[in-house]
Structures are given as structure tokens and as C-alpha cells.
Structure 1
Amino acid sequence: MPTQCPAPDGTPRGAGREGEPSALIIDCQSVQTSRSGGIASFDAYKHVKGRKRHIVTDTQGLPWNVVVHAAGDHESQWAFHTLKPIESWTDRVETVFADSAYQGLENEIESDLDWSLSIVEPEGEESGFSVDPKR
């Protein structure tokens, strides 16, 4: 990555902003597929037949990696494969924020990537969509 370009929010690098993130956010989304073929399976939790998009962004929302896989595969099966390429793109990442679907991966991410995985629990007892802190 060039070091002379402005930060994602438009501020120049000389304003104290680093060009690379120290924290990333990982999550996935199940999407229904059309009849055109390709990988697909049933996500029993979301009740969707299709694919999952695994997305890693920085805290500004800029994408760092995307992996598409069958919806029936659990998030934990693909999380490491989605994060691993980023290791060679930056040496500044320290923390990855994720939801409870990624629990149990803390040791693998710590030992293989030298990053910490922070599981963010939702606030409140509301069901349905809510914006979680750090995510």
C-alpha cells in the first residue's frame, strides 16, 4: 500500500493517522441464490438456501477480504481462511472483532496470526437486528 495517500476519512497521513488498520471486523451474511448454479446449501439458522459472504472490514468499513462459500458451512470453518491472506498485506493488525459464531477460534488466531480475537456480545435483550458495539 502506498504510504503517501490520504487516510480513508480524507485526512492526510501527517495528521497522525496510520495508513493501515490496527483492528478488523469479521462477519458473514447468508444470501439466497438463483437457479443459475454454483455452490449452495441450506443455512439452518437463517433458513436460507444459498451462499454465505464472509467479509472482513477495517473499523471504517473498508473491505479487506471477501470469501464466498456454501451457506450450510459454519462461520468458524471459513474465518481463518478469510483472515489469513490479510496477514501478508499488513503488519499493524492487533485485534479482530467478531460475534459469538466465532467463539473457539481465539487460540488458532492468536497462535497462527498473532492477533487477538475479541467476541462482541450484543447489548440488551431485543431480538432481531441491532447494532453491536465495535461491529
Structure 2
Amino acid sequence: MAQLDRCGPSDATVASTRTTTSRRPYPSDLSDARWALIEPTLSAWRTARMQARARAGITVADPSTSLRDIFDAILYVNRTGIAWKHLPHDFPPRTTVYYYFSAWAKEGIFDRLGTDLTGLARTKEGRKPEPSACVIDSQSAKTSTNVPLDTQGIDAGKKIVGRKRGILTDTLGLLLAITVVAADLSDNAIGKTLLTQASRTYPTITKAWVDTGFKNAAVEHRARLGIDVEVVPRRSNQPGLHVVKRRWVVERTLGRLMLHRRLARDYETRPDHAAAMIRLASIDNLARRITGESTPTWRYT
């Protein structure tokens, strides 16, 4: 097994063109345009780690593993839903790929990418980079057999054993905040966490729309944050599926995220890794939105 590349250079060795492998591209791979959006953040992270080790007197050879290959491998897992040990052999070693995924999740690199790309996507749509309103919803997901029991619970309403994903989006449906908790945690607690996260990253938010599960404690919490929370109930006199004011945006976002098969069930042993997988799916969608690409277009033009 190859030694893990835990730090490395910042420029020519991780250029936007792939030079470390000759493999055929997968549909989940980044195009050159999308890689150009992501590469500066990853290269800066790697440079900072190299400099930190140099200051500590640790001599480390420049790693040969391409950051682009690493990110493509993580996207492959996220999009196809495979286990890490089933990662194709033409990617870097799975231990190396998982190390980078874990480090980027722990150090907030995925969150940073999400914030930066959200600003670019909003600007492209003619909006200000900083949102002023948001929508909140939650989704219960079943867990796999490897998930520790102390990180999951039972959603009594939906009769699901697993975890609950809480997301907060802007009015375009772009993901702003995410939390993953045991399924038995109330929506009120999730709403308080999401509002706190959002207010720190986006202090411009002054309005939020939620469903009836987020009232009481969540609504009271918003007063301390200066956010006006409006509860939007479902129309009980209208049977079947129907569009609910503002809330349809976040429901659409959940549907789009679920196209990434790793999210069909919660396979992550750690809740923060589960949140990172959701954030990664959002980054994939954001990059395509900014560059105007869909899966088939960039590879055959």
C-alpha cells in the first residue's frame, strides 16, 4: 500500500490538467472548468500543511498524488454510493483518498468550498453573494449496519431508525448549513443549530421559512439572532402533493442531493462525515451550476 500523502506543493504539481494518470474519465470526474473553481482552495490547504511541517522541522518529500485525482475519487464514491474499499484501482489508494476526505471534512475545507461556490452561483443568478433569507427542512435517513448505535435513533413520526439530516438553503435552494444528528432529535433542536450556523457564516440573513415541526424553541431562538422565522403549514384541506410556499425550494434541494447515491442511506460511521458527504454533493451541483455543465456535455464537446 502506498504511503499516505499528507501534505504537498501548491502549484505545478497539481495543475488543472491531469498528468499523474492515464485513466479514462468517469462521468463523475471534474471538468477543467469545474476543477479551476476548486483547485485554489485545495492547493492553498496543501501549501499551508507543507509550511507548517517545515516550521516544525519535519522533512517531507513533495507528494506525487494529484489533488484532482483525490477529489475525483471522493466524488466517485459520493456519486455512485460504493464502499471505500471498492474504489477502482485506477484512482489513488483508497487509504490515501479516505485520509484526504477525513482531513478536509475535519478542517472545514468542504464548508469553505461550499461557501465560496454559493457566492459565485448567487452572483451568476443576479443575486448578492450574501443571502438575506433562508428555508429550513429535515430528512430522516436509514443507516447501514456499520453506523454506531449511539449516533442514531428512531424517528417516531416516520418510523425510521437512523439519522436525521437538517439543511438550511437560500431562496434559490443553495445549501447554506447542514447538520446530521440521531433521528430522535427534535426539529426544534435542529432548527436552532442550523440558524446558529447560518447566522455566523451569513450575518445578512434576516428571514427564515420553516414547517410546523420547527416552531416553539426554534422560533424563540431566532429572536436572539435577529432572524424573523415564519412557520409555513401544509394545507390540510388539500390532499395529495402540492406546492407549499417557500418550502418547495428546500424540498427540491433534498431531491437533487439524493441523486448522489451515497446519500440514499447513511453509510458514514461519524455524523460529521455524513454532513461532509451532503456538502460534497452540494459542491458538485454548485460547480455544474456555475459552469453551466451537465454530465454529458463537457466530455463530448
TM-score interval, smaller chain: 0.7 to 0.9
CA distance in 2: counterparts of 1:78 and 1:128, whole angstroms: 27
Matching residue of 2:153: 41
Matching residue of 1:117: 229
CA contact under 8 A between 1:26 and 1:56: conserved in structure 2? yes
Bigger fraction of residues in strand: 1
Matching residue of 1:72: 184
Whether 1:8 aligns to 2:118 is no
CA distance in 1: counterparts of 2:140 and 2:241, whole angstroms: 14
CA distance in 1: counterparts of 2:140 and 2:128, whole angstroms: 33
Identity %: 27
CA distance in 1: counterparts of 2:159 and 2:237, whole angstroms: 22
CA distance in 2: counterparts of 1:129 and 1:35, whole angstroms: 33
CA distance in 1: counterparts of 2:140 and 2:242, whole angstroms: 17
From the superposition, tell whether residues 133 and 68 of structure 1 become closer, same or farther in structure 2 (CA, over 3 Å).
Answer: same
SS at match of 1:85: helix
Unaligned runs of 5+ in 2: 1-114, 248-301
- Structure 2 letter corresponding to 1:8: R
CA contact under 8 A between 2:122 and 2:128: conserved in structure 1? no
2:206 alignment partner, one of 94, 116, 135: 94
From the superposition, tell whether residues 29 and 11 of structure 1 become closer, same or farther in structure 2 (CA, over 3 Å).
Answer: closer
Number of equivalenced pairs: 128
Cα deviation code 1:33-78 (max 9, x no counterpart): 1111231111110010000000000010110111000001111122
SS at match of 2:180: strand
CA contact under 8 A between 2:136 and 2:169: conserved in structure 1? yes
2:194 alignment partner, one of 79, 82, 86: 82
SS at match of 2:222: helix
CA distance in 1: counterparts of 2:129 and 2:200, whole angstroms: 15
CA contact under 8 A between 1:87 and 1:113: conserved in structure 2? yes
2:215 alignment partner, one of 103, 116, 121: 103
Whether 1:32 aligns to 2:142 is yes
SS at match of 1:87: helix
CA distance in 1: counterparts of 2:125 and 2:156, whole angstroms: 44
Bigger fraction of residues in helix: 2
From the superposition, tell whether residues 72 and 122 of structure 1 become closer, same or farther in structure 2 (CA, over 3 Å).
Answer: same
From the superposition, tell whether residues 92 and 35 of structure 1 become closer, same or farther in structure 2 (CA, over 3 Å).
Answer: same
From the superposition, tell whether residues 86 and 29 of structure 1 become closer, same or farther in structure 2 (CA, over 3 Å).
Answer: same
CA contact under 8 A between 2:123 and 2:129: conserved in structure 1? no
SS at match of 2:146: coil
Q: CA deviation at 1:6?
A: 4.7
CA contact under 8 A between 1:97 and 1:118: conserved in structure 2? yes
SS at match of 1:8: helix
CA distance in 2: counterparts of 1:97 and 1:84, whole angstroms: 15
Q: Aligned-pair RMSD on alpha carbons? A: 2.1
TM-score (ref. length: structure 1): 0.83
Matching residue of 2:10: none
For the pair shown, which has the larger CA radius of gyration, 1 or 2?
A: 2
CA contact under 8 A between 1:7 and 1:18: conserved in structure 2? no
- Structure 1 letter corresponding to 2:130: E
CA contact under 8 A between 1:100 and 1:119: conserved in structure 2? yes
- Structure 2 letter corresponding to 1:10: K
CA distance in 2: counterparts of 1:70 and 1:130, whole angstroms: 29
Whether 1:23 aligns to 2:136 is no
